[in-house]
Amino acid sequence: MSELATILAGLSAAGRPAVLVTIVAAKGSVPREVGARMLVHAEGTAGTVGGGVLEWQAIARARAMLESGEREALLELVLGPEFGQCCGGRATLRLTRADAATLDRLASEEAAERAARPRVLLFGAGHVGRALARVLAPLPLRLGWIDPRPDAFPPDPPPGIERLCSEQPARLLEETPEVAGVLVLTHSHALDFALVAAALARDDPVHVGLIGSASKRARFVSGLRALGLPETRIARLVCPLGGTTADKRPEVIALLAAAELWRALAIGAGSRKAA
């Protein structure tokens, strides 16, 4: 995922002016949430405030600011018949000609957003693990990718992932703070079981996914009961990972598993807000 502060720093160093566009208010059906940002400069854009007419209007206004030297503006858009839209939403965008203070503020805000992202631990660097890492890498997550085999990781891993080679991955899972999701896809059923047991012993994961079949889940459930884990914890185990599908290609399973994880994270985030 591209960080706008890094892009803005490069533009500033090259003496290329830019305008930061931020959604500061949104009501009704709008394509992005409050806080969504994009950069507009003479040669292009980075980030998005939702695409479509809203974004084109923002880009046009920002380009006008670049030409005139205007420092700041508010743009209010109603996504209705005036723009050939039927959404009915209303969005207010703040456009700021970027300077050093803008860069500092943006860098600080993005650092805070990164720290607040849910932490997900992906165990296993086999074919499905690699495919899943590629799918998850662009998402706003703190993603840790763990395998006890140092040569299991690809030579060109996706950017933004923390790779860890641990001979005791279950202990690593036990000691890692604030884990929102756990995905278990290792080369060993024994290791899979140890990781699943450690994950379900925690209070915080909203999703514990396991590669395998319905029969594998049944065997694991029996073993988890023997450990004394309560049924409410065992019920959190999701297996087969990504649901049941006749298409076993790693990329297909990875896509389904990522959607499954993201849905669970969104539901968990909504529950925390409601509480």
- 83-142: per-residue pLDDT in tens? 555 556 889 999 999 999 999 999 999 999 999 999 999 999 999 999 999 999 999 999
Question: With bands split at pLDDT 50, 70 and 90, how would you rate the model's confidence at 54?
Answer: confident
pLDDT at 1: 45
Domain 117-274: assigned CATH number: 3.40.50.720
The candidate with the shortest Cα–Cα distance to 225, out of 203, 193, 202, is 193
User: Taking the domains of the chain in order of start, what are their residue ranges?
Assistant: 4-114, 117-274
Q: Is 80 exceeded by the pLDDT of residue 5?
A: yes
pLDDT at 41: 96
Quick one: CA torsion of 207, 208, 210, 214, rounded to 10 degrees? -80
The residue count for the chain? 275
pTM of the model as a whole:
0.85
Q: What is the pLDDT of residues 157-196, one digit of tens each?
A: 888 899 999 889 999 999 999 999 999 999 999 999 999 9
pLDDT at 85: 53
